[in-house]
Structure 1
């Protein structure tokens, strides 16, 4: 099986502009983790697109690297290479519809994706639609309003891009002055939602989905700091508990509500003493993916490939927590 891997940030999505190092750092983490897992699988040939500036950061032994320079039209190259491969595994952020449009392109070529299809990305990549769907099915989630419908009330609030990935387009406001200042800055920058700022443990789930069924791989804890009214991810503790029954039930419920989810999916939660709230559903690889093999002794890439023919074979060989430190470099390359 020949698999085309395209991680948008490091694979040429920014080939005609500066690379934002913070996005590159996490992109490289996920890309290296994915490539390491795929190259362990017998019978898999990997083709990987690489931005010319990150080539030395990837060990491409045993695979075919395709270097993307400023002279290339990246999406044309993606289509050309996809036609030469059996399946495609894209990794991309949801903002600006990037991941959805990539999936649509691959689907138009009639090439199988190793991720959720475009229609699932369109739904879960939109925080407002996700909130409505979860609420409709009585799954606990953080109360959400569209920015244009929100009237400030005292308290702490989070303003987030409706299709944002990570924390880059999320802002904490603590008073009316903060809110008015941020409102003026965001007025012309797309669609946003507003949520109450809930204090609690920030956890995430690494999962697999297929046709209305869901399997939990690990529960993780995310640690942040707040700087300039924005959250910044510092580290992730992957596989923090062996008592995952409450999370498995939630994964099963989400699978039934979002039956088009397929492959690896990350779910962000906020946990308080009273409830577990679903914050976001990420229909793509997340950073936690890279530590699953070290934590559980299973290859998550193989589990995803298993989904093409049946159920994933999840038989942990170990059960240990693993810490991922998130690079904090924010300059451009």
Structure 2
């Protein structure tokens, strides 16, 4: 299929965010996923649209209100997502898909892009399959002696193991965010029917500062963009993620974070690593590797000069490395800190960079 006719110097980038971009068209959108997905979609679309010579196509659920901006909106109705994604990606120079790893959602769409020969701004389907399986990631990290919580597969409906170290964290094996993530006091714990999956992962509760590292991964490896502190709370026995603070202390990272990215071949584009930072040991314990853009993009696009992060992301994929690509972390960590909410709200954080 021929690409859309645009001026010779223009390149078209398709941004398809699954939750608010039509993947659930005609259905009730999960509130937390919709808030985070919508915030990321707007931030990414706006950032790419600020690059000279870039035309942005943005998918939007046909049931949502208009979101005018420096992009072209493609409405997606019930049952239209797959065909629209196929056609739009075929006509675009690059496509970025943002979706949860749950139930193979992100992997399947990445596989579609690979099948039709579309150029993806993200990870390969194989890398997404690995990163989306938290038990598999745990095994990989253990093999490489990278600190990560002990992980065991369980079926909550059949009971929890008596010999596991409690308190513990119970989460879906392929979950995203803090959905269905519980604090478990002992083996007698019951979700009261609120845990929606069958198989789950149980891990010991580990002390540490919840952190996130944002990286760009390209042909020449991973480049750190920023460190942030996550705002994670426990409400009625459930973990809740509400955003974070950027930048965090640039010293709150060790080699384990980049080693975790290297452990999964095929990661590409914007990648996030969640970890717990032990200040006393100066050691990171890796919790998750996210093979996709994370909510941190919302805060980073506010901190960095307009379009700088999107330009570096594109450079990482194409190999057209610009002079600014290696200096993102320096810029981010020189800026006054901000707090960003999962819904995209940005507020200044009093004081200087954390230390």
TM-score (norm 2): 0.84
> Alignment partner for residue 22 of structure 1, among 8, 32, 39?
32
The answer as to whether partners of 1:212 and 1:260 remain within 8 angstroms in 2 is no
- Shift in alpha-carbon separation, 1:210–1:250, aligned structure 2, 3 A: farther
**Unaligned residue ranges in structure 2 (runs of 5+):** 1-10, 345-355
1:265 is paired with a residue of what secondary structure? strand
Q: Let me know the Cα RMSD of the aligned residues.
A: 2.2
Q: What residue in structure 1 maps to residue 199 of structure 2?
A: 191
Query: Is 1:270 aligned to residue 276 of structure 2?
Result: yes
- What is the distance in 2 between the residues matched to 1:212 and 1:124? 20
Query: Is 1:319 aligned to residue 335 of structure 2?
Result: yes
- Shift in alpha-carbon separation, 1:114–1:303, aligned structure 2, 3 A: same
- Shift in alpha-carbon separation, 1:256–1:21, aligned structure 2, 3 A: closer
1:88 is paired with a residue of what secondary structure? strand
The answer as to whether partners of 2:154 and 2:201 remain within 8 angstroms in 1 is yes
- What is the distance in 1 between the residues matched to 2:287 and 2:130? 14
1:237 is paired with a residue of what secondary structure? strand
Alignment of structure 1 residues 1-333 onto 2, 5 Å: 1-56=11-66, 58-60=67-69, 62-70=70-78, 72-147=79-154, 151-153=161-163, 155-178=166-189, 181-182=190-191, 189-211=197-219, 213-243=221-251, 246-247=253-254, 249-272=255-278, 273-274=280-281, 275-297=283-305, 299-307=308-316, 308-311=318-321, 313-316=325-328, 317=331, 318-327=334-343
Greater displacement, 144-153 / 6-15: 144-153
- What is the distance in 1 between the residues matched to 2:298 and 2:234? 25
Aligned positions, number: 320
2:21 is paired with a residue of what secondary structure? coil
The answer as to whether partners of 1:212 and 1:261 remain within 8 angstroms in 2 is no
The answer as to whether partners of 2:148 and 2:287 remain within 8 angstroms in 1 is yes
Per-residue deviation, 1:276: 1.5
- Shift in alpha-carbon separation, 1:185–1:222, aligned structure 2, 3 A: closer
Q: What residue in structure 1 maps to residue 352 of structure 2?
A: none
2:224 is paired with a residue of what secondary structure? strand
Q: What residue in structure 1 maps to residue 351 of structure 2?
A: none
